């Protein structure tokens, strides 16, 4: 199978203009499912070993942000890729409609509380980006308010980066027909029908508005410190391969190390 630098191929270059409608969300960069499956398992094993060292070292943190339109595969990515991690060191936060308490604070208040601690690899299923996405599409705040948030988010992520948090942001991109098929499959499966609501179809009517919001968010908030990766996600196996590999390569580049043995532990200790 091809040697692929997924980080270089899928990263949104800072300052570039994203047009999701011009991208092939079924792209696989030369991979096929047969070749990808063992590679996914290899990357998952690699992630498990890297997390062990990262957790033991406890000097830095990693924040993984997952965004995408409904049915893009955020839950599926967590189920498949993040299974590599010991859950003790991998908190997952799903951001729902803000509570009354959260609305009484600034929009980043609830997010900052969930940032991973040193040694943790934290996952955000949706995130602070909802405040320039759904808030924009539904007109929940005036344009001048949400338009100012791109710079605010970049500043927030810069603070996290300066404090030792490595940020990876994955946008899972599917096309409109793929979403239709996934909604239908969700409804047709009795074990998954509970996840379906008529509200999903109302949101689907706003497809073009969401695409415009995604385009602008990706274009304005992909930075050197907190890059966006647009993952072609029509094929779930490719999505898992790309996310797992990018995540493993990024953590490996941090070179986490096991801490030294405590000074009071003698060499060659034999415990009776």
What domains does the chain contain, in order, with CATH numbers? Answer: 6-253 (3.40.50.300)
Query: Quick check: 12 and 222 in contact, CB under 8 A?
Result: yes
Neighbours of 196 (CB within 10 A): 17
Is the pLDDT at 2 greater than 90? The verdict is: no
Lowest mean per-residue pLDDT among 122-136, 174-188, 252-266: 252-266
Closest C-alpha among 188, 206, 193 to residue 70: 206
Over range 248-268, report the average pLDDT: 93
- Give me the pLDDT at residue 1, please: 67
**Alpha carbon 80 to chain centroid, angstroms:** 13
Is the pLDDT at 118 greater than 80? The verdict is: yes
Average model confidence (pLDDT) for the chain? 96
Taking the C-alpha atoms of residue 234 and residue 14, their distance in angstroms, rounded to an integer, is 25
Distance set, CA 109 to CA 96, 104, 227, 228, 271 (Å): 14, 9, 22, 22, 49
Kind plus residue range of the DSSP H or E element containing 53:
helix 33-57
250 SS3 class: helix
Is the pLDDT at 81 greater than 90? The verdict is: yes
Question: pLDDT of 244-255, one tens digit each?
Answer: 999 999 999 999
What's the first-to-final CA gap in the chain, in angstroms?
A: 52
Over range 109-132, report the average pLDDT: 98
Backbone angle region of 174, left / alpha / beta, with phi > 0 → left and psi within -120 to 50 → alpha: beta
DSSP state of 194: G
Taking the C-alpha atoms of residue 57 and residue 92, their distance in angstroms, rounded to an integer, is 20
Kind plus residue range of the DSSP H or E element containing 200:
helix 198-204
pTM of the model: 0.96
Taking the C-alpha atoms of residue 267 and residue 137, their distance in angstroms, rounded to an integer, is 63
Is the pLDDT at 134 greater than 70? The verdict is: yes
Which residues, 6+ apart, have CB-to-CB distance to 60 below 8 Å?
A: 54, 118, 119, 164, 165, 166, 254, 256
- Give me the pLDDT at residue 202, please: 96
């Amino acid at each position: 199978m091809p040697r692929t630098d997924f980080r270089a191929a899928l990263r949104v270059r800072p300052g570039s203009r994203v047009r999701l409608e011009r991208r092939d969300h079924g792209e696989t960069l030369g991979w096929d499912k047969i070749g990808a499956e063992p590679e996914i398992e290899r990357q998952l094993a690699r992630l498990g070993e890297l997390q062990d060292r990262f957790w033991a070292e406890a000097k830095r943190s990693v924040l993984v942000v997952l965004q995408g339109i409904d049915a893009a595969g955020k839950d599926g990515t967590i189920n498949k890729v993040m299974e590599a991690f010991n859950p003790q060191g991998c908190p997952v936060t799903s951001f729902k409609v803000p509570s009354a308490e959260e609305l009484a604070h600034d929009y980043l208040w609830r997010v900052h509380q969930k940032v991973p601690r040193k040694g943790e690899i934290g996952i955000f299923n949706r995130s602070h980006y909802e405040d320039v996405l759904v808030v924009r599409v539904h007109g929940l705040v005036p344009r001048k308010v949400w338009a100012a948030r791109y710079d605010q988010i970049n500043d927030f992520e810069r603070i996290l980066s300066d404090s030792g948090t490595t940020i990876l942001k994955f946008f899972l991109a599917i096309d409109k027909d793929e979403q239709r098929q996934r909604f239908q499959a969700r409804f047709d499966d009795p074990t998954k029908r509970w996840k379906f609501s008529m509200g999903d179809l109302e949101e689907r009517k706003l497809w073009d508005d969401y695409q415009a919001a995604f385009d602008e968010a990706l274009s304005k908030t992909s930075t050197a410190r907190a890059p966006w990766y647009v993952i072609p996600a029509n094929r779930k196996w490719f999505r898992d391969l790309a996310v797992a590999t990018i995540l493993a390569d990024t953590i490996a580049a941090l070179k986490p190390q096991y801490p030294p043995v405590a000074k009071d532990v003698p060499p060659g200790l034999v415990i009776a």
